[in-house]
Structure 1
Amino acid sequence: MPQFRPLVRTRTRPRTRSRSLNRALACAAAFGGLVALTGCGGSPSASTADSTFKVGVLFPGSLSDDGFMESAYRGYQRAAKKHDGTIAFSKVEQVTTADYEQALVRFATGSDLVISLGGQTDAAVRKVAARFPDVKFAEIGGPADAEPLDNLALYDPQQAEAAYLSGAASALLSKKGTVAFVGGAELPAIVNAAKNFADGAKAADPGVKVLAPQYVGDFNDAAKAKQSALADFGAGADVLGQILNLGHKGLAQAAAQSDGSLIGGPIAHPCSSDAAYAGYVETDIGAEIEYAADHLAADTWKAESVHFGLTFEEPHNDIVLCGNPASATTKKLDGLKAKIAAGEIRTR
Structure 2
Amino acid sequence: MRRGMKISLVTLTGAALTLSAAGCGGKKASDSEGGGGKKSLKVGLAFDIGGRGDQSFNDSAAAGLDRVKSTLNITTEEISAKPDEPDADKESRLRLLANKGYNPVIGVGFAYTNAVNKIAKDFPDTRFLVIDADQCKVQGANVLGACFAENQGSFLVGAAAALKSKSNTIGFIGGVNVPLIQSFQAGYEAGAKHAKPGIKILPAKYLTQPPNFDGFKNPALGTEAAKGQLDGGADVIYHAAGGAGIGVIKTVGADKKWVIGVDSDQYNLPAVAEAKDHILTSMVKRVDLAVFDFVKSVSDSTFKPGTKKYDLTNDGVGYATSGNKVDDVKAKLDGYKADIVAGKIQVPSKP
TM range (shorter): 0.7 to 0.9
Contact 1:182/1:242 (8 A) holds in 2:
yes
How far apart are 1:144 and its partner, in Å?
Answer: 4.3
Indicate the residue corresponding to 2:309 in structure 1.
307
Contact 1:8/1:333 (8 A) holds in 2:
no
Indicate the residue corresponding to 2:36 in structure 1.
none
DSSP 3-state at the match of 2:242 = coil
Q: Deviations over 1:162-195 (max 9, x none)?
A: 2221211111111111111111112221111111
Contact 2:156/2:318 (8 A) holds in 1:
no
Indicate the residue corresponding to 2:212 in structure 1.
none
Query: Following the alignment from structure 1 to structure 2, what is the Cα–Cα distance between the partners of residues 150 and 346?
Result: 32
Indicate the residue corresponding to 1:247 in structure 2.
244
Indicate the residue corresponding to 1:19 in structure 2.
none
RMSD of Structure 2 on Structure 1 (CA): 3.0
DSSP 3-state at the match of 1:63 = coil
Query: Following the alignment from structure 1 to structure 2, what is the Cα–Cα distance between the partners of residues 186 and 346?
Result: 23
Larger Rg: 1
Query: Following the alignment from structure 1 to structure 2, what is the Cα–Cα distance between the partners of residues 244 and 321?
Result: 20
DSSP 3-state at the match of 1:317 = strand
Residue in structure 2 matching 1:238, options 235, 239, 249: 235
DSSP 3-state at the match of 2:320 = strand
Ranges in structure 2 where 5+ consecutive residues have no aligned partner: 9-15, 34-38, 209-214
How far apart are 1:229 and its partner, in Å?
Answer: 1.2
Residue in structure 2 matching 1:159, options 150, 162, 165: 150
Query: Following the alignment from structure 2 to structure 1, what is the Cα–Cα distance between the partners of residues 144 and 32?
Result: 23
- 1:210 and 2:201 correspond: yes
Residue in structure 1 matching 2:61, options 41, 62, 72: 72
Q: What fraction of aligned residue pairs are identical, expressed as a percent?
A: 25
Residue in structure 1 matching 2:291, options 289, 292, 300: 289
Query: Following the alignment from structure 1 to structure 2, what is the Cα–Cα distance between the partners of residues 290 and 305?
Result: 15
Q: Deviations over 1:1-48 (max 9, x none)?
A: xxxx9716599xxxxxxxxxxx99xx99xxxxx82421231254468x
Indicate the residue corresponding to 2:320 in structure 1.
319
- 1:42 and 2:42 correspond: no
- 1:269 and 2:267 correspond: yes
Aligned AA (1:336)? Y
Aligned AA (1:263)? I
Aligned AA (2:280)? A
Indicate the residue corresponding to 2:12 in structure 1.
none
Residue in structure 1 matching 2:174, options 162, 183, 186: 183
Greater alpha carbon shift after TM alignment, 219-228 vs 254-263: 254-263
Query: Following the alignment from structure 1 to structure 2, what is the Cα–Cα distance between the partners of residues 6 and 192?
Result: 18
| TM norm structure 2 | 0.81
Q: Deviations over 1:239-298 (max 9, x none)?
A: 111112222221123214544221123224259862331222333211111101111011
Indicate the residue corresponding to 1:15 in structure 2.
none
Query: Following the alignment from structure 2 to structure 1, what is the Cα–Cα distance between the partners of residues 143 and 3?
Result: 34
Aligned AA (1:164)? F
| TM norm structure 1 | 0.81
Aligned residues: 320
Contact 1:6/1:334 (8 A) holds in 2:
yes
How far apart are 1:56 and its partner, in Å?
Answer: 1.1
Indicate the residue corresponding to 2:44 in structure 1.
56
Residue in structure 1 matching 2:190, options 181, 199, 202: 199
Query: Following the alignment from structure 1 to structure 2, what is the Cα–Cα distance between the partners of residues 268 and 253?
Result: 12
Residue in structure 2 matching 1:89, options 76, 79, 99: 76
Contact 2:136/2:146 (8 A) holds in 1:
no
